[in-house]
Chains A and B, each alone.
Chain A
Amino acid sequence: MTAPRDTETPAAVPAAEEIPAGRASLWRDAWRRLRVNRLAVAALFVLCAVCVTVVAGPWVTPHTYDAQDTALGAVGPRAGHWLGTDPLGRDLLARLLQGGRVSLLIGLSATAVSLLIGVLYGGVSGFAGGRADALMMRIVDILYALPYTVFVIILMVFFGRNFLFLFLAIGAVEWLTMARIVRGQVLSLREREFVEAARALGLGRARILIRHILPNTLGPVIIYATLTVPRVMLLEATLSFLGLGVQPPMSSWGLLIKEGVETMEEYPWLLLFPSIAFSATLFALNALGDGLRDALDPRTSRD
């Protein structure tokens, strides 16, 4: 009774491409296309490495992210402190790994929040159609026109620099595009035969939407979610850089860059290593997102 996902997008397979014998599902097809994209595969590899390192790393490093050694002070990279230490004698590698945990956690959880709101809002709007749809999309249009970075800054200043609040605030402003994408998909999906069939079987509206229509929007949703993660991480880092995000002694990549800037003349490594880690991760996420878009939706080529 599930929706016929396999046969959904015959147009997605370019005629010129050789179609292997047997039934290629959308996903196997996409994986095949992704595999030949060397940049995307490298990005996927880098991301896995980053994730494993920041998750497992803090258990392995001999120093903790907040252990100070003021007698040592700031020293450059050397044995025992591979990436050097900051003016308080804290090990940069340990802080970098912990910061990566925080940055990635915020990136993923805020994306999850935006995903949840965006998919539900867009799905309901597109499925309801008519006047409700017009009203809901008009609200999105108005919210789009708001300078949302400004609002996140206001929220952070006036309502405390709370960790949980940070990603809720970011997630709450990042859902708009997701809602638009899902709504567009749902609008065309709800006219399809399998929805009619589900309706004929007497299924409820909520069940049709959640079990049959939304799963079919997965492709664009995954693509956009992959591209949302770096945007969120960027916003978090910007806030932390302005002193509005993660607070010391906790660590995040944006905060480390901020601390690095303050002492960059004397201790340039404190700026360089966090910058490299942050930019490389953003690069990999964007490259993977682009690769996924090419693989899952070949009709829209690279912009």
Chain B
Amino acid sequence: MTGFILRRLLEIVPVLLAVVTITFFLVRLAPGGPFDSEKRLEPKAQAQIEAFYRLDRPLHRQYLDYLWDAARGDLGPSYRKTGRTVTEWVLLRLPVSMELGLYALAVALAVGMGAGLLAALRPNRALDHGVMSAAMLGICLPGFVLGPLLTLVFSLWMGWLPVAGWTTPAHKILPAVTLGAMYAAYIARMTRGGMLETLSQDFIRTARAKGLTEARILLRHALRGGIQPVVAFLGPAMAGLFTGSFVVETIFQVPGLGREFVEAAFNRDYTMVTGTVLVYAALVALLNLAADLAQAWLDPRARGL
């Protein structure tokens, strides 16, 4: 097991290296620099700025410096937001995104697994069809459609919830629901599929023959196998929840990493873009690893891999 974890951790390194390399050169190859659109500066001030951000060095030198600093956790100074380094900005914004992601995950798991279990209890009946149609609808309602619609109804028309912001618990309901809805829909479909497959297996018939109650069969025996597709999906899902929230954070003006990234991209803030992308990639890789470990714990057959 330790060897498995170590090997997987080592495999993350080339991925992160690829991410940093692509992002680093992509933003620098693009026409226009971060200090171009401003008024023309005096040559001396320009030189000073370039020296401060090390832009006067050759490109490969900048790249190696960046790698060396990033490996030690220093993502450099922000080009636009002075006063804090990129690492400090990330540490400030990331917890907000993680918090939003966790709430959304809670919504997705509670709603999705509940709906999937209900549907699997009586397959191909009215309730099943209703739940599955709702799930399909959820998949087709992306955040930028659902979010504004929810705001329109619950904030503007009903006046129950605040429109945007991230201060009180009431502020956090709409973003969490908006972000979690699509994942709830996927999880509902997977739970249904996994449960149906498990329920058709022999050991369930044995459990029924033993005279166990249906609830006990479902929760004690079938659930462990039935939710395996969901567990396998959790890694990508959590990665998506933590990183794919640019839209939701933009709609509800949540001060998270997603909005920071979009802003930085618009502002051509090289270091901020590279830094946020690197943090995202690391998060995705670690979450996928965690999901694989959880799967191995649930299914002994997967441990040999």
Binding site for B on A (CB under 8 A): 142, 145-147, 149-151, 153-155, 157-159, 230, 234, 237-238, 241-242, 254, 257-258, 260-261, 264-265, 268, 271, 275, 278-280, 282-283, 286-287, 301-303
A-B contact count (CB 8 A): 110
Stretch at the interface among B78-86, B90-98, B265-273: B265-273
**Is A234 in contact with B15, judged by CB distance below 8 angstroms?**
no
Using A145-B281, A286-B136 as known contacts, say yes or no to A154 and B15 having CB atoms under 8 A apart.
no
Residue from the list B136, B141, B149, B243 in contact with A150, Cβ < 8 A = B243
**Is A301 in contact with B246, judged by CB distance below 8 angstroms?**
no
**Is B156 in contact with A264, judged by CB distance below 8 angstroms?**
yes
Residue from the list B19, B32, B139, B262 in contact with A153, Cβ < 8 A = B262
> Would you give the shortest CB distance from A157 to chain B, in whole angstroms?
4
| 24 chain-A/chain-B pairs, Cβ below 8 angstroms | A145-B284, A147-B277, A147-B281, A150-B280, A151-B22, A153-B262, A154-B27, A157-B268, A158-B32, A159-B30, A234-B142, A238-B142, A241-B247, A242-B247, A242-B262, A254-B144, A257-B144, A257-B148, A261-B144, A279-B141, A280-B140, A283-B140, A303-B193, A303-B229
> Which 10 A-B pairs rank lowest in CB-CB distance, beginning with the nearest?
A158-B30, A282-B140, A283-B140, A157-B265, A241-B144, A261-B148, A145-B15, A303-B193, A275-B145, A279-B140
Using A150-B261, A153-B265, A257-B145 as known contacts, say yes or no to A303 and B189 having CB atoms under 8 A apart.
yes
Size of the chain B interface, CB-CB below 8 angstroms: 46
**Is A142 in contact with B144, judged by CB distance below 8 angstroms?**
no
Cβ-based interface call for B162 (8 A): no
> Would you give the shortest CB distance from A279 to chain B, in whole angstroms?
5
Q: Complex: how many Å from CA A261 to CA B252?
A: 12
Residue from the list A146, A151, A237, A301 in contact with B15, Cβ < 8 A = A146
* Extra inter-chain contacts (7) besides given A142-B15, A149-B243, A279-B141, CB under 8 Å: A145-B284, A146-B281, A149-B246, A159-B30, A258-B144, A264-B148, A271-B152
Of A254, A257, A258, A303, most B-chain CB atoms within 10 Å? A303
Which secondary structure dominates chain A's binding surface? helix
Q: Which of B235-289 contact A (CB under 8 A)?
A: 243-244, 246-247, 250-251, 261-262, 265-266, 268, 273, 277, 280-281, 284-285, 288
Residue from the list B148, B262, B280, B285 in contact with A271, Cβ < 8 A = B148
Q: Complex: how many Å from CA A18 to CA B152?
A: 52
Cβ-based interface call for B23 (8 A): yes
Q: Which residues does chain B contribute within 8 Å of A257, judged by CB atoms?
A: 144-145, 148
**Is A146 in contact with B144, judged by CB distance below 8 angstroms?**
no
Which secondary structure dominates chain B's binding surface? helix
Cβ-based interface call for B26 (8 A): yes
Q: Which residues does chain B contribute within 8 Å of A286, judged by CB atoms?
A: 136, 139-140
Instruction: Fill in one digit per residue for B7-47: 1 if any A CB lies within 8 Å of its CB, else 0.
Output: 00000001100110011001100111000000000000000
When C-beta atoms are compared, the residue in chain A nearest to B132 turns out to be A302
**Is A283 in contact with B156, judged by CB distance below 8 angstroms?**
no
Q: Which residues does chain A contribute within 8 Å of B18, judged by CB atoms?
A: 142, 146
Cβ-based interface call for B5 (8 A): no
Of B15, B27, B151, B265, most A-chain CB atoms within 10 Å? B265
